[in-house]
Structure 1
Amino acid sequence: MDTAKDLPVAVIGAGPIGLAAAAHLLDRGIEPLVLETGPTAATAVRGWAHVRLFSTWAELTDPAAEKLLAPTGWTKPGESAYPTGGDWVEAYLQPLADALGDRVRYGTTVTGVARAGRDRVVDTDRDAQHFTVHAVRDDGTEERFPVRAVIDASGTWSTPGPLGANGLPALGERVAADRITYRIPDLTDPAVRARYAGRTTAVVGSGASAFTALAALAGLADEAPGTHTLWILRRGIGTHTYGGGEADQLPARGALGLAAKAAVDDGNATALTGFRTAAVERDGDHLVLVAEDGRRSDPVAEVIALTGLRPDLTFLDELRLALDERLQAPVALAPLIDPNVHSCGTVYPHGAAELAHPEAGVYLTGMKSYGRAPTFLALTGFEQVRSIAASLAGDHEAAARVELTLPETGVCGGTGLAAGADTAPAEAAQTDGCCAVPAPGLLRIGTTTGACC
């Protein structure tokens, strides 16, 4: 290969958005190199395989991906069904990765990205240099990949938010790690079920993930007397606490909030509002959460911390990124998704222009592009990578074109109504991926993820 243009484009992460990015690149005649930490596609989505998304199959497959899958004999699942994360992987994501073949490198963790021969300080001939991706394989082998551009679709699943209301771990949180989970538990697993059945559990968070956990534990209470949930919220309960309800254009997402409300109304969950956790203390075999104002929770056997996700930016440190100081999202995108301003699920469709950085050729996509914001949908990610692939191919008209209309949440409002820092991404498989459901037995969102969708 003689020029940077001849090099492949690195796609970090073989989740829903990363795989879609690879499909769009191929459709544009650009060779992708997908680097995935896990041993299979969509490793993060597999981590919440038991969770049902609140998007239907019609909203969970990408057109370019479907085009790539068509010659393999793949058949799209019924569009009106709501799959679980596991369904999404088995019926779409793994087949898509298989169709990409050896363009997907598993067991490969990206540890750094930089301009060849240039750290972030050096200006000289910077834009003329290709990128070098540093990675480590599972066996410890170090690798270097020269690439023309980088699409980071690694999601946020690996970095959940802590219990501490200030964004840092609460005092005693690390010591109590054996009794705290940062994921929605799979209550279909007998061993996991035994941890929560007949006991009091604290659920910390106010987003779709928390709703899912509340609904799941309420279902368990019907079978195991003594099962109760202490719902810890950093804010109070208001008109929009439970989301859009019947006004939500994604019915399953609205139903999820209503299921959480029913858990409270039926007495299966007790809300503790305005509670900003500062410490976790042991009380015999139980834990007690202590708020910044000195209030103490009742003793609980387990804690489920669903306080949002955040991007891991450490391996991008030698690149010149322009990120919003609050959300850690691209500066042009941040105003559209800022939960301090609005709570709309509708975000103006955006692409390469809004996701660009001072370091040309670098894009954060999928749930990672949203930083700490919680409103990501898989459809949004598909539109992002369609635009990015068009831009990399030099088709700037297509890159700027809007090809997506998103559903509304039904809860668009003013400041204070949005999901805040204690919210898990509503559609981003916490990698890139997704969202939970309405039905009994339902089980939560994604990202990331991611993600959910």
Structure 2
Amino acid sequence: MTLIDLGRPVAQKRRIDTLPVAVIGAGPIGLAAAANLAERGIEFTVFEAGDSVADGVRKWGHIRLFSPWRHLVDPASARLLQAAGWTHPDEEALPDGAELVAQYLMPLAALPAIKENVRTGVEVLAVSREGMDRTRTRGRAATPFVLRVREATGEITEVPARAVIDASGTYRTPNSLGSSGLDPLGLAEVADLVSHALPDVLGAECSRFAGRHTVVVGAGHSAANTLINLAALAEKVPGTRITWAIRNRGAVRVSTSPDDELVARAKIGGRVDTLVERGVIDVVDRFEIARLEREGDSVRIVGNRGGELTDIEADVVVNATGFRPNLDMLREIRLELDEIVEAPKRLAPLIDPNEHSCGTVEPHGFAELRQPEDGFFIAGMKSYGRAPTFLLATGYEQVRSIAAWIDGDTASATKVELSLPATGVCSTDGGPAGGGCCS
């Protein structure tokens, strides 16, 4: 075998250009990445851990988005769909998650150019370079990526790739209930009494909440949506009680703003404020959770409130404290992340929740998302790390720019343009530890 001066086989250096791009996650951003790559004739494979595309969205399918359809459809995806006879939904209508899947994401995933390249039920466990851990440099950029995956059968295999777009999202990795960022002491003993964010309170999970006392922890839109649904349940089922626990003095991320162009989003805070004023929702502010204790079929939430030890007893706790990226799978990838929000270093100043809201984030693309690992990108909600200010339209522009860069189209990749709705919400109340994201 002939070796070049970089210490890698000539055949292997040529091989990287023949491999597909790996896209991790078949949610809205992952499928948008697929559509942009398909338009450019770039071979790709999408890996989705769920049993079907948009698995994460399906879990909150009962929640209505506050963005209308005109902000929810990726332009490249729309072109591919319309060429196949698809009709764009009413641009001003507000779909729920289930409608987003049924009317847009499923038709997109069913297009032959997309469907034949999507592998569902396949979880990406780790990403690296073939034969190289993160410490080795020589010939690195010319060496294919390798994705270690768990197949639907349970078998663990490895798949090579030319480049990697990690659009796996953050829904599977919620922030901790503990104010320290660590899971509160005792969580394992009461795990069955703790719900993930955005439970289907009025539908499939109604029996879990009806006639019981629920404590919702978190200060963002995920918490607000759950509080509103619990209040609707309380009107129907006597004995249904609601407590809202927040870490700061107020939940300004859901505050109503007359400047918000997304009318539905602007109304959320007002609805919650009214429910609080009417006494439907009890608020415990400045509450920092330290530990959880089981008491029969209920849980005692112990924490610090204004310097004093306080506890709240609940039947169910909803963790609506937001989400964080899963970085464990990227241990062997060279990453440059912001030390606070865990977003790409060059992107972080543009999305800092202490300074920016959903609508004030500057357009950005491959340049802000590039990592020291050549050809590796984090896109979509995961690219925002722990910042709760993400909009789907932002992710669509990210993957458009990345696909152009992979295709060698530098002019298109660097011409980043994006028009976002003006907003007066999603500002922080003292840190990036709050609730839901802007969808």
Q: Is TM > 0.5 for Structure 1 vs Structure 2?
A: yes
**Cα distance in 2, alignment partners of residues 298 and 115 from structure 1:** 49
How far does residue 197 in structure 1 lie from its aligned partner after superposition?
Answer: 2.0
- Does the residue aligned with 1:139 lie in a helix, a strand or coil? coil
1:34 aligns with 2:69: no
1:50 to 44, 62, 76: 62
2:343 to 329, 336, 351: 329
How far does residue 3 in structure 1 lie from its aligned partner after superposition?
Answer: 3.2
**Cα distance in 1, alignment partners of residues 253 and 29 from structure 2:** 29
Question: Hey, what does 1:217 align to over in structure 2?
Answer: 230
1:232 aligns with 2:245: yes
Question: Hey, what does 1:200 align to over in structure 2?
Answer: 213
Letter in 1 for 2:166: D
Asked if 1 retains the 8 angstrom alpha-carbon contact of 2:165 and 2:379, the reply is yes
In structure 2, the CA distance between the partners of 1:146 and 1:298, relative to structure 1 (3 Å rule), is closer
1:160 aligns with 2:179: no
Letter in 1 for 2:118: V
The Cα RMSD (Å) is 1.8
1:60 aligns with 2:88: no
- Does the residue aligned with 1:94 lie in a helix, a strand or coil? helix
Of all paired residues, the percent bearing the same amino acid is 47
Asked if 2 retains the 8 angstrom alpha-carbon contact of 1:343 and 1:419, the reply is no
Which stretch of the first structure deviates more once superposed, 15-24 or 213-222?
213-222
Question: Hey, what does 1:286 align to over in structure 2?
Answer: 298
Letter in 1 for 2:189: V
Which stretch of the first structure deviates more once superposed, 180-189 or 326-335?
180-189
Asked if 1 retains the 8 angstrom alpha-carbon contact of 2:146 and 2:161, the reply is yes
Question: Hey, what does 1:7 align to over in structure 2?
Answer: 19
**Cα distance in 2, alignment partners of residues 244 and 400 from structure 1:** 35
Deviations 1:43-74 (A, max 9, x none): 11111111111111111111111122223322
The runs of 5 or more residues in structure 1 that have no matched partner are 428-452
Deviations 1:170-212 (A, max 9, x none): 111221111110222212326x222222222111000000111
What aligned pairs does 1:236-315 form with structure 2 within 5 A after superposition?
A: 236-237=249-250, 240=252, 242-292=254-304, 293-315=307-329
**TM-score using structure 2 length:** 0.92
- Does the residue aligned with 2:187 lie in a helix, a strand or coil? coil
Question: Hey, what does 1:439 align to over in structure 2?
Answer: none
In structure 2, the CA distance between the partners of 1:72 and 1:323, relative to structure 1 (3 Å rule), is same
In structure 2, the CA distance between the partners of 1:419 and 1:225, relative to structure 1 (3 Å rule), is farther
**TM-score using structure 1 length:** 0.89
**Cα distance in 2, alignment partners of residues 344 and 89 from structure 1:** 23
1:339 to 353, 369, 375: 353
Asked if 2 retains the 8 angstrom alpha-carbon contact of 1:206 and 1:419, the reply is no
What aligned pairs does 1:119-158 form with structure 2 within 5 A after superposition?
A: 119-158=133-172
Question: Hey, what does 2:120 align to over in structure 1?
Answer: 106
- Does the residue aligned with 2:314 lie in a helix, a strand or coil? coil
Q: Which structure would you say has the larger Rg?
A: 2
Asked if 2 retains the 8 angstrom alpha-carbon contact of 1:134 and 1:143, the reply is yes
**Cα distance in 1, alignment partners of residues 105 and 253 from structure 2:** 33
The runs of 5 or more residues in structure 2 that have no matched partner are 1-10
Asked if 1 retains the 8 angstrom alpha-carbon contact of 2:353 and 2:426, the reply is no
Letter in 2 for 1:211: A
- Does the residue aligned with 1:276 lie in a helix, a strand or coil? strand
Which stretch of the first structure deviates more once superposed, 304-313 or 396-405?
396-405
- Does the residue aligned with 2:174 lie in a helix, a strand or coil? coil
Higher RCO, 1 or 2 (CA under 8 Å, sep at least 6)?
1
2:87 to 64, 70, 75: 75
In structure 2, the CA distance between the partners of 1:216 and 1:320, relative to structure 1 (3 Å rule), is same
- Does the residue aligned with 1:123 lie in a helix, a strand or coil? coil
**Cα distance in 1, alignment partners of residues 101 and 253 from structure 2:** 31
How far does residue 248 in structure 1 lie from its aligned partner after superposition?
Answer: 1.3
1:91 to 103, 116, 121: 103
Question: Hey, what does 1:391 align to over in structure 2?
Answer: 405
Asked if 2 retains the 8 angstrom alpha-carbon contact of 1:163 and 1:173, the reply is no
In structure 2, the CA distance between the partners of 1:41 and 1:296, relative to structure 1 (3 Å rule), is same
| Corresponding pairs, count | 423
Letter in 1 for 2:147: V
How far does residue 237 in structure 1 lie from its aligned partner after superposition?
Answer: 2.0
How far does residue 241 in structure 1 lie from its aligned partner after superposition?
Answer: 5.1
Question: Hey, what does 1:442 align to over in structure 2?
Answer: none
